[in-house]
Amino acid sequence: MRLTTRLLTTAVIASAFAAPAMAEGTLDKIKSSGVIVLGHRDASIPFSYLANDPSKPIGYSHDLQLKVVEAVKKQLKMPNLQVRYNLVTSQTRIPLVQNGTVDLECGSTTNNLERQKQVTFSVGIFEIGTRLMAAKTSGVKDFPDLKGKNVVTTAGTTSERLLKAMNAEKQMGMNIISAKDHGESFLMLESGRAVAFMMDDALLYGEMAKAKNPGNWVVTGKPQSFEIYGCMLRKEDPAFKKVVDDAIKATYKSGEINKIYSKWFMSPVPPKGLNLNFPMSDEFKELVAKPNDKSAEQM
């Protein structure tokens, strides 16, 4: 039974994702097709999202993605290289990179060991800490204050994993709500169903900036982990990885990263003109100084 099921499902899935076997590298593929396919998100503010033009993403990660496109054009001597966009979700991003639909995904994807089994990451493009947002009046200052309380986090994130692990290990008796996206997590917090919202700090600032009364909320608590975001590309493609990494490193070395950073984190951003006011952390400054493609747990 188990074997038949396995064979059957493998066959079904394999045919559903029937992409040509990727014997050639991504650069060859781009060269022969004349197109590079970029994976992007729809609501990872301010990393990769859709604002005014539904056909073209914007964001911090997207700007770095475009730096890579420039580098590919130069490398392949194809100034007229076409760019095609492909929207991905947290569930589809890995398979779409693997099966050749998307050549490069830059959004808010954490580099971790589980994902490294499936895809390769570029050098880190951002570093966040997982922290809490709570009402200023709630008295919640840090994680120990959450004992026996309702706490919300977004389903499928590292924060969810950390929060559940912390709850089990330290027997904190928290009720953990896994909301479907960041917007709904914040709604749970705002409507009083949860006293705190645990998430990547950059995203917490993003939610705070969108709130009706941003002044009511505070991001607080000692970071429970640091997460490094990276761009995803197919495994075992050293030629393409070198182009990607070199393009990002060049941005770091030239200091252009500071301009891009302040454009997305220290200034008003579309569509509502929110200013996240999220200064560059010491951890990320260190990453910019010494770029690498390790996950946070490997460092």
Partner 1 sequence: MNYNWDWNIFFKSTGIGSEIYLDWFISGLGWTIAVALVAWIAALAIGSVLGVMRTLPGKVLPAIATAYVELFRNVPLLVQLFMWYFVVPDYLPEATQIWFKQELNPATSAYISVVVCLALFTAARVCEQVRTGIQALPRGQSAAALAVGFSIGQTYRYVLLPQAFRVIIPPLTSEFLNIFKNSSVASLIGLMELLAQTKQTAEFSANIFEAFTLATVIYFVLNMSLMTLMNLIEKKVRIPGMMGGAK
Residues within the interface to partner 1 (CB under 8 A): 5-6, 9-10, 13, 17, 19, 21-22, 90-91, 94-95, 98-100, 112, 114-115, 117-118, 150, 152, 155-157, 160-161, 164-165, 168-169, 175-180, 184, 187-188, 191-194, 234-236
Q: How far is the CB of 261 from partner 1 (least distance, A)?
A: 27
**Which of 189/243 has CB closer to partner 1?**
189
* Contact in structure between 260 and 60 (CB atoms under 8 Å): yes
- Give least dist CB 23 to partner 1, A: 10
CA distance 119 to 112: 10
Q: How many whole angstroms from its chain centre is CA 288?
A: 17
The nearest distance, CB 83 to partner 1, in angstroms, is 23
Pairing of strands 150-154, 196-200: parallel
DSSP SS3 for 280:
coil
CB of 49 to partner 1, least distance (A): 20
Contacts of 112 (CB under 8 A, 6+ apart): 158, 295, 296, 297
Number of helices (H), then strands (E), belonging to the chain: the values are 11, 15
Residue number with CB closer to partner 1 (116 or 216)? 116
In terms of CB distance, is 80 or 191 closer to partner 1? Answer: 191
Angle at 91 between CA 186 and CA 27, to 5 degrees: 125
Comparing CB distances to partner 1, the nearer of 80 and 137 is 137
Comparing CB distances to partner 1, the nearer of 99 and 216 is 99
At what angle are helices 26-33 and 238-254 packed, to 10 degrees?
Answer: 90
Q: Alpha helices of 211-255 — where are they, by DSSP H?
A: 238-254
Nearest distance in Å: CB 35, partner 1: 19
